[in-house]
Structure 1
């Protein structure tokens, strides 16, 4: 019979883990700022395309607003998503 392997994540296994956590937090902030910029630029393109009767640019603007919104939602939910899947994986026996 093989012994069971039971390894769990810990916060003191590597030096610099606190610094890495701060870097990832800063990346989350950067991503949200970029998503806001994406919404603004896409909304401007959407408005210009609509007012100039250019459906291609208006469509690209709409798509950009949607993509930037979904990106912001995923960035905001990143911690919850990773925790959910980590817990789901840990529950598999």
Structure 2
């Protein structure tokens, strides 16, 4: 009985249809921020190439000096630098993919 009285007295709140999308000109400096992110991605790719070269040299020294620890660290460095380059290059696509996935959640 009490539940029916409370249900009748309290209005039902219906969620509104909220539509929010990214806004390119909502804040000043968005173009500068986009330029900064692009520059950071370029630096990350250059550092990935540098890490790849250093890791390959370490791998070569380890293999030629019969040092398995050094060769192993060089191999791991090559894999990590390649993974860093892949993630850096695919960052925009990954974010766009997960943004689209998030938009389908209801």
Q: Do Structure 1 and Structure 2 share a fold, with TM-score over 0.5?
A: yes
Match of 2:26 in 1: 13
1:31 to 24, 29, 44: 44
Aligned length: 93
Q: Which structure has the higher relative contact order (CA within 8 Å, separation 6+)?
A: 1
Paired with 2:15 and 2:23, the residues of 1 have a C-alpha distance of: 24
Q: How does 1:1-93 map to 2 (within 5 A)?
A: 1-93=14-106
Give the CA RMSD over aligned residues.
0.6
Larger radius of gyration: 2
The unaligned stretches of length 5 or more in structure 2 are 1-13
Runs of 4+ in 1 over 3 A off after TM superposition: none
